[in-house]
Structures are given as C-alpha cells and as structure tokens.
Structure 1
Amino acid sequence: MLFALAALLALLGTVTDPAHARRLHLVAVCDTAVAAVALLYPWRRTVRNAPALIGLAGFVVLGMSTWSFGGVAAGTGPFLVLLYAWAALHFPRWILLAYVLPATLAYLIPLIITGQPPLVLGSAAIIMPVAVTVALLIEAQARHLRDDRERLARIERWRAAMINTLAHDVRSPLSAVQIVLDELREDATGVEALMLDGALRQAARINRLADALLDVQRIDSSGELKLDRQEYPALTLVRDALTYLHPDEEIEVEVGPDLTIEVDKQRFEQILLNLVSNALRYGGPPVVIRISRDGDVDRLEVRDHGPGIPESLRGSLFGQFAVGGPEGVGLGLWIVRQLAVAHGGTAAAEHRDPGVAMIVTFPALPSRLTPP
C-alpha cells in the first residue's frame, strides 16, 4: 500500500512538474513493481526476515524519486520515516540499524548528483536520527505486544488443557460412584432411599458441571454449539430439571400443561438449573418459574424476590467470571447466554420489585412457523 501510494503521487507529480515527467513515470513504474512483488511474492515460504529486502528496494526508489524532482527531498523524508515505521512493526532492531547506511545513501546521493548546497545535504543529520528513533520506539512497543500475545496464547492453551483434563478426569471416578449408588439404591428403603436419591442427584449434577466445563471450551474454541432441538412439553421439562434440586426449595412453577417448546433438552435443563441455582443463592424466596409464548418465541422467566442486581454488576452480568465468589466461579450466566444464543434466542435480566427476573427466549424452529 505504501509503494502503491508512492506510485500514485509520482503520477500526480507529472502534472505539477511536467519537465520531469519521464523520470516521474519511471519512478511510478518502479514503485508499482515493488508494490506488486511485496503483495504477490510467497514470503511465507522464505526465511522469517526475507521481506526486509523490500526495504532496500524501497530506499533505491526513494533515491530515484528525489533525483526525479531535481533534488527536492520534501517527499522523500516522510516516506523514509514511513518505510522505517513499517520495518519496525515487522523486523528486529538489528535490521533497523542495518538500514541506516542504505537509507542515508538513498537520501544523500540524489542530493549530491543534483548539486544541492551543503545546507540541504545537512538535512540528513536531522531526518535520519528522527527516522531511526521513531523506528526503534515502534519496534520496542511492537515487541512487547508480541510477547504479551504469546504469553496470553500460552495461558489460553494451559487453561483449555486444564478444563479438558478436569472435565474428563471427573467423569471416570464419578461413573464408578454412580454405579455403586445405583446398586445400593435398588435395595434401600425409607430414609436410606431418600439419602441415596439425593446423592444420585448430586452425582448427576457434578456430571453436568463437567459437561458445562466442556461447553465453555467448545464455545471458546469454535464459537458455537450443536443442538438437538425437539418439541417437548414445557411442564415436563421443568419438572425433570427440578429433580436435580433439593425438594424442600421454595420454587413455584407457572407453566401451562399444554404448552410445548422446541429446545435441546439437555441445554434447556442447564439454562434452567443455572438460573434457579443463582436465584436461590443470591436472591430471595420464592423463586418463580414461568414459561409463556409470545408469537413465535417461547419466553422462560426465572424470578426471585431478593435484593436485585447491584449497579456495579449490571453491565457485566452475563460475562465470564463476572459474579464469581465463594460459592461459584461466575460462569453460570455466561453459559446461559451462550446456550440461549445457540438456540437463536437471547438472555437478559429485568428489574422487579422486589427481586430480578432472568429472561431467556427460544425462537420456534422454521418448520413450525406459519408461512405468510
């Protein structure tokens, strides 16, 4: 782009300086050639710093430009600084220092050839230190940014490996625990049966948490989740999900017996359990679950009667690790929003007096929409 711009300016220069039109046309052709090589040559197949050779060709063309304008370096200086700035973004500092000699020669030789006075020649003592200093500052900043990016990439790889390892390693011992609990449950009665039922529910919940960790990794890596959406009775979905919670929790369900919704059953349960768990943990009883239909959108509402959302959290409520604390890591609402988006819906918080209502929408599948 830099050399294409230089070629365009050389052509425009023929209008203001027609006496040197042939020279300027030559400069435009050279600039275009360098731009084409820079764009089309397969640099990725060469050694890392091979594109620095473009800079050497650029200095030659800049020298030709000064000569074409009869020794006027008004345009050469800025392009020299820009060329150095480009090099600083991509190459180590030793290349910038190696550029000093060819850049100085490209600046001075045309001035000497055209017989410029010593005062003009002395301008190199200003332009070259400025170009090198600017380039070194840019190179230092670019190097720090590259180092930070590599460090963040290493942290991200470690985090992804940790999540995968944790999620997978939890499943094996958990499966053994569930098998033992199932065997014990077959012969248990009375209080023992209730205790084992509770243990099985919590084991299933741990398994779902492992799935949630894997969901976090899948969403981060691919940006999307594959869903298996089918039509289910809404009331049955809610009742099945609530079996994972303690039966003594103060939860009210307001869902019509004939209402059906089209969702991924497992993901819907994740959404509902995350919202209800948050309402029980941070809000106040009773927790009310409502599902209603608004046109072609099904609307899930989970409302608590607690103190509401602090002002400081409203802007980041659905972000990763936004509401973490002693009882959680702050991924629940982020997962809720990602699962809602995967369904084509939304997740939002609405103020109530008292409390707050978490609203998740589930658009109907295209096959169920009535054509106009």
Structure 2
Amino acid sequence: MRARSLWGSLWGEGPEVAARQAALLYALAGTLVLVLAVTGLFARTGTSSRATTLLTIAAADLVCAALAWFLPWARLGPRSPYVLCVPALVIQAWATWTFAGFVAGTGPFLMLLFAWAGLHLPVRAVLALAVPATLSYLMPLLAADSGPAAVYSTVLLIPAVVAVGAIVSRQAAHQRRANERLRRAEQWRAALTSTLAHDVRSPLTSVRFALESVRDETGDLPPEERRALVAVALRQAARIRRLADGLLDADRVDSEGGLRLDVRRIPLRETVQEVVDDLGGPVEVDVGEDLTVPADPQRLEQVLLNLLANAVRHGAPPVVVSAERAGGTVLVHVRDHGPGVPPQRRDALFSRFGATGDDPQSVGLGLWITRELARAHGGDVRYTDTGEGACFTVVLPSGDPP
C-alpha cells in the first residue's frame, strides 16, 4: 500500500508532483553514475581522479534528489520546483566535461530534463531553457578540447532535446485543456442534477398541492379560493419553465456563443411590476411611468427576477428597484439592505458556478446567466457595495432597438 501511494504521488499536476518527478530523474542519474564509478567502466581510459569525480557527481545528483523529494514545494510556490533546472544544468556541464564529449553519457539525461520541463512548463519557457542548456553542454566540451566535434554534437543534440521538450509541452497543455473541459462538463452535469433536486422540487410540491386541493373538493370551494389555488399552480409552473429556460440559455451560450433576442421597445415600469407581482416578495418599485428600453421582454424579466430573488433571499428589506437615465443608457438598480456580498466572493460573483455562497440550493448559474443576458442586449450587470447592503445595476442601452 505504501509503495502504491509513493508511486501515485509521481503523477498529476502541481509543484509537489513536478518536484518528485525531478527527484526521480536525479536519483536515476546519480545511481547510474555511481554504478559507472564503482564498476570502473572507464578504467581503460580514465584514472582514479576520474572515478572520484564520478562519485562526486553521483553524490550531487542524489543530494538534489533528496532535496527535490522532501522540500515543501507546495508552500514555496507553484513555480518553485523549476529552480531544480539550475543544479541539473550545472551537474550536466560537470558530467559533460568529465565524459569529454561522450554524448551517450550526458545526452539522454539532457533529453529527460527537457521532457520533464515540457510536462510542467509552457513552450516559451522550454525554448528559453535552450540557451542555458546550450552553454552547459558546449562550454565544457570546448574546455575539454573537443574541437569541432563539440560544435557538431551541440548542433545535433540541443535542437533535438528542445524539440522534444516543446512537443511534450504542447501535448501536455492540450491534455490539461481537455481535462478542464471534462471537469467543467462533469460540474455542469452535477449542477443540473442539483438544480433538478432542489429548485424543481419546491414548485412541483406547490403545483401538486394546488391540483390535489382542487381535485378533492366536492364543489364547496369558493371561486376565489379556487382561482387562488390555480394562480399558485400557474405561478410555480412558470417558475419551473424559467428554470428550464435558464439552463437552456447556459447551454446556448456554450454551444452557439450567444443568445438570440426578440428586441422591441417596452415600458420598464410595467415589466418590473410584473416581475415583482410574480415574485410575491416585499419589493418597492421606483421606476418612472414613461421610461422605456429596447429589450427582449422575457429575457429582461429573467434578469430582473434573478436579481430580485437574490435580494429577497439573501438581503434584508427594504428591497428597492429604481431606474434612471444616464447618457445613452438606462440604469436599473436592485438594492437591498442586507449584509452585502463578502469581499472574498466578489471576484467570482458573475462567473459560472462561482456565486453559490452558503446556499446549498444554489448552483451558481443565476448571476452568470444574468450578465450574459444583459450583455446580449448590449449592456452589462455590475455590483456595488453600498456599505448597507448590496446593489446590482443593470446597464441597458436606451437607443432604438436593432
């Protein structure tokens, strides 16, 4: 079990994984150099000083392997393991000078170094590594009087290892993007499941209660109460439909890259009042009777309903909807007097799955869809911290509809 755990720690993403992979390469290089030194593979052409140098190189590799394995790289920063390239190139230069141009002795490890860099670095970083790698290989060969062979071997080796590193880097980046798409698809599937489990159950319960009440009555139910029950059922059915429309909107943004709108000039106060009546919450409306905007009525209702539902659910009264003209735009403010949005959540407020807060029934799509709908109208949605509650402002163009 322990061996399996150690093996598993070598794969994945993050600084700890990168460092442990580097530790494995250092340990491999140190072990092989140690074997060469002990067995006297180069005894025919070398001396005891050569063996001592090889033992020193092996020791340096093994020390770097231990440091790479045991240092707390995650706490040192996400890019911290990349400093391991520095001792690798220094040892590489030392070994190249020791092997005096024997490419089979140092070339494979330079290839492994660039493959490791390609797994964890972008292509531009791999290409930048080519310069110090060239110097660490060419300069020792020139110091060892390898002559033209030094240049030839450098011309052959360095482009090859850099190409390997660049190819690995591009492929690793592609794989990370594919994994991110799969992660987001799984998150989207989970969000749909959560939405169906939470947001649909409550209105369906209300619809069922209203229908059962109407069914079980024997004719003694007053017409006013019957109409009220039917109104409840219709309102909750409309809520389910809006939820379905929101999920479809999110899918359209992904698949089509935009939303199609039926834009026409509509009276803003009438639209706001319909949303407030449908919501059934304590909301004050301060919108002029003569104010109109070019918008898709259903989409604008969806924007306002999302913002008002959040204000009623998470804020505190009074919840106020107001509007004003500002240059060539109309600003619609939805303000509550609750605790507001915590600073740590504001950056992700309009991102998909980002604004769930502490609400277990929220899947974080409402504000994201709200902004997408506003942008489809040529406007936007922004958040303002008022000091006493939250204020969301819908910016809409006031000119003629396209």
Normalised-by-shorter TM-score class = 0.5 to 0.7
In structure 2, C-alpha distance between the alignment counterparts of 1:343 and 1:136, rounded to whole Å: 48
Of 133, 152, 164, the residue aligned with 1:124 is 152
1:245 and 2:273 equivalent? no
The corresponding residue for 1:42 is: none
Q: CA deviation at 1:121?
A: 2.5
> Sequence identity, in percent?
37
Alignment of 1:42-191 (within 5 A): 119-154=147-182, 184=214, 189-191=223-225
Would the aligned equivalents of 2:266 and 2:292 in 1 still touch at CA under 8 Å? yes
Q: CA deviation at 1:266?
A: 0.3
* 1:138–1:356 Cα change, 3 Å: same
In structure 1, C-alpha distance between the alignment counterparts of 2:191 and 2:398, rounded to whole Å: 33
Would the aligned equivalents of 2:275 and 2:301 in 1 still touch at CA under 8 Å? yes
* 1:207–1:167 Cα change, 3 Å: farther
* 1:126–1:337 Cα change, 3 Å: same
Offset from partner CA, 1:115-159 (integer Å, 9 cap, x none)? xx9721243334433333333333333222222233344556677
The corresponding residue for 2:265 is: 231
In structure 1, C-alpha distance between the alignment counterparts of 2:393 and 2:380, rounded to whole Å: 8
* 1:233–1:126 Cα change, 3 Å: closer
* 1:222–1:183 Cα change, 3 Å: farther
Of 348, 357, 361, the residue aligned with 1:327 is 361
2:279 is paired with a residue whose SS is coil
2:377 is matched by which residue type in structure 1? H
Root-mean-square deviation (Å): 3.9
1:321 is matched by which residue type in structure 2? F
Q: Identify unmatched segments of 5+ residues in structure 2.
A: 1-110, 120-144
1:316 is paired with a residue whose SS is coil
Normalising to structure 2: TM-score of the pair? 0.53
Q: CA deviation at 1:191?
A: 4.1
* 1:329–1:157 Cα change, 3 Å: closer
Of 383, 386, 399, the residue aligned with 1:352 is 386
1:288 is matched by which residue type in structure 2? V
The count of corresponding residues between Structure 1 and Structure 2 is 250
Q: CA deviation at 1:329?
A: 1.0
In structure 2, C-alpha distance between the alignment counterparts of 1:140 and 1:293, rounded to whole Å: 55
Moved more, 276-285 or 136-145: 136-145
The corresponding residue for 2:314 is: 282
* 1:288–1:146 Cα change, 3 Å: same
Would the aligned equivalents of 1:297 and 1:364 in 2 still touch at CA under 8 Å? yes
In structure 2, C-alpha distance between the alignment counterparts of 1:309 and 1:161, rounded to whole Å: 27
* 1:367–1:229 Cα change, 3 Å: closer
2:399 is matched by which residue type in structure 1? L
* 1:312–1:162 Cα change, 3 Å: closer
2:260 is matched by which residue type in structure 1? K
The corresponding residue for 1:305 is: 337
* 1:151–1:267 Cα change, 3 Å: same
The corresponding residue for 1:268 is: 300
Q: CA deviation at 1:337?
A: 1.2
Offset from partner CA, 1:68-100 (integer Å, 9 cap, x none)? xxxxxxxxxxxxx9xx99xx99xxxxxxxxxxx
1:225 is matched by which residue type in structure 2? L
1:347 is matched by which residue type in structure 2? V
In structure 1, C-alpha distance between the alignment counterparts of 2:376 and 2:397, rounded to whole Å: 11
Would the aligned equivalents of 1:250 and 1:285 in 2 still touch at CA under 8 Å? yes
1:236 is matched by which residue type in structure 2? E
